[in-house]
Chains A and B, each alone.
Chain A
Amino acid sequence: MIDLIATLQPLVVGAVLIWSARVKLVSTHAAAAANRSALARLVGQDRALPAYRLLGGMEVTLGGLLLLPPVLRAEALAATVLAVAFLGYLAYARRAAPTSSCGCLSARPTPVSGRSLARAGLLAVAGGLALLATEGWSTALAGRPPAGVGVLLVELAAVVALSPELDHVWLLPLRRLRARLTHPLRGGSGVPLLATVQQLQLSDAYRRVAPLLRSDVREHWDDGDWRFVGHAARYQGRLVTAVFAVPLTDREPDAVRVAVVDNATGHTLLSLAGTPPAAGPRLSVVPA
């Protein structure tokens, strides 16, 4: 069995290398992928794309040699060296530039994760096994088709499972399906404070008073159909509270009212009542 597995490894490694080279050589997003990768840090921003392309060239050449007969031990050795070097590069990237993208099998921004490292390790092991191959993979596959296809499928599944770039093809749809079936996100009911704040900020009352405000929302409470929102403010040198009354359920920014109340005396210094739009002054200042 080990003979069969070893014999099939040039096919596996070759296919992964060619797949990997595809994004580096023909993808229209190669430049972005190169810039996002740790190569930009390793060799500099200007040299990242040429280095990325060069790597792709090496991958496609080596991949082609592995796939095509004759079987040479040197090819397997070169593939193993490349895989080990790549493993070292990924370990470096993860340590030195953790926010960089792998740039491995897809132009999608994909951070270097434990799975990427495991995949590079798998390829190194596969390259090592290929050193033991004594015949061409096509001969072996023709000799024992069911076992050969089984080995290839298992390895393909392992590579796919270890490729975060491919999660959107199988893992995310599965998770989406699970979410659709189980409805895990409920949140709450009622009107979130942010909805009130958004409505408040759409109002003219807010736009007039906003320059006076000193603090974020300091307090808020509901009373009947209204939600009240208080900010600390400063008005003509006094410490005041700007309190907004916002309709709780209806979305009516025009109905938002505000009063500016002196903290020391409790007197209302100013109030703005939402007024009907159209003609006339849009807001009335109510001398309180």
Chain B
Amino acid sequence: MAALRGEVSWFCCGSAWGPCGTAGGGACGTCSSGNYQHAWPNTSDACLAITRPDRCGVTGMARRGCGFRHYTTNLCNGARVGTTIADCGPQTDLFCGERTCCGSACGSNRIIDLTPAAYSAIASLSAGLRPCSVDTV
């Protein structure tokens, strides 16, 4: 898979405090906020029917199953984190065309959501959205 550019955000999962408490272990049943994991919009037909990245013109989003490893690079600072798939998401089509930039590096459309542990390793949780590139090596 060629590196895919877009936006990254974060989500909580697993047993946790606050409104996150009901999130559960995600589509794969293994998701936990403290692990290096992520949600991917194309984990199954059912998942893709919900996230619909194609509606935003996002192509090249390969079908990947639970446990598959992606590497996400924050285009603002070059920090990179490897995470495994634990859930279906984000719902790309709800924010079609959205764009986030750092300097001249921009990403359009939401392509990946990281757990708080993983996101905070490459960005600040208080900045809920960053441009990123995602690859598999």
- Do any CB atoms of chain A lie under 8 A from CB atoms of chain B in the complex? yes
Using CB atoms and an 8 Å cutoff, list the residues of chain A in contact with chain B. 31-32, 35-36, 40, 45, 48, 98-99, 109, 194, 197, 201-204, 206-207, 210-211, 213, 216-217, 253
CA distance A213 to B22 in the complex (A): 34
Asked whether A210 lies within 8 Å of B76 as measured between CB atoms, the reply is yes
A201 interface neighbour in B44, B50, B102, Cβ under 8 Å? B102
Contact with A along B115-137 (1 / 0, CB 8 A): 00000000011110000000000
Given the known inter-chain contacts A203-B103, A207-B77, A211-B78, please indicate yes or no for A32 contacting B125, CB distance below 8 A: no
Closest residue of chain A to B128 (Cβ to Cβ) is: A194
Q: Is B46 an interface residue (CB 8 A)?
A: yes
Given the known inter-chain contacts A202-B101, A217-B126, please indicate yes or no for A31 contacting B49, CB distance below 8 A: yes
Contact with A along B45-80 (1 / 0, CB 8 A): 110011000000000000000000000000011110
Asked whether A35 lies within 8 Å of B102 as measured between CB atoms, the reply is no
What chain B residues lie within 8 Å of A210 (beta carbons)? 76-78
CA distance A250 to B124 in the complex (A): 25
Chain B proximity of A117: nearest CB distance (Å):
19
Q: List 18 A-B contacts (CB under 8 A).
A: A31-B45, A31-B49, A32-B46, A35-B46, A35-B49, A35-B50, A36-B50, A45-B46, A48-B46, A99-B22, A201-B76, A201-B102, A202-B101, A202-B103, A206-B102, A210-B76, A210-B77, A216-B126
What chain B residues lie within 8 Å of A213 (beta carbons)? 77
How many chain B residues sit at the interface, stated as a range, is: 10 to 19
A206 interface neighbour in B44, B45, B76, Cβ under 8 Å? B76
Asked whether B44 lies within 8 Å of A45 as measured between CB atoms, the reply is yes
Chain B proximity of A258: nearest CB distance (Å):
13
Using CB atoms and an 8 Å cutoff, list the residues of chain B in contact with chain A. 22, 44-46, 49-50, 76-79, 101-103, 124-127
What chain B residues lie within 8 Å of A197 (beta carbons)? 127
What chain A residues lie within 8 Å of B78 (beta carbons)? 210-211
Closest residue of chain A to B78 (Cβ to Cβ) is: A211
What chain A residues lie within 8 Å of B101 (beta carbons)? 202
- Extra 4 A-B pairs, beta carbons < 8 Å, given A31-B45, A202-B103, A217-B126: A45-B44, A201-B103, A202-B102, A211-B77
A contact patch SS: helix
Asked whether A207 lies within 8 Å of B46 as measured between CB atoms, the reply is no
Asked whether A40 lies within 8 Å of B46 as measured between CB atoms, the reply is yes
A207 interface neighbour in B22, B45, B103, B127, Cβ under 8 Å? B103
What chain B residues lie within 8 Å of A98 (beta carbons)? 22
Closest residue of chain A to B130 (Cβ to Cβ) is: A201
Chain A proximity of B130: nearest CB distance (Å):
9
Chain A proximity of B52: nearest CB distance (Å):
9
What chain B residues lie within 8 Å of A109 (beta carbons)? 50
What chain B residues lie within 8 Å of A206 (beta carbons)? 76, 102-103
What chain B residues lie within 8 Å of A31 (beta carbons)? 45, 49
What chain B residues lie within 8 Å of A211 (beta carbons)? 77-79
Given the known inter-chain contacts A35-B49, A36-B50, A201-B76, please indicate yes or no for A207 contacting B102, CB distance below 8 A: yes
Chain B proximity of A190: nearest CB distance (Å):
19
CA distance A40 to B44 in the complex (A): 13
Chain B proximity of A221: nearest CB distance (Å):
17
CA distance A176 to B8 in the complex (A): 31
Closest residue of chain B to A99 (Cβ to Cβ) is: B22
Closest residue of chain A to B46 (Cβ to Cβ) is: A35
Q: Which of B76, B77, B126, B127 gathers the greatest number of chain A CB atoms within 10 Å? A: B77
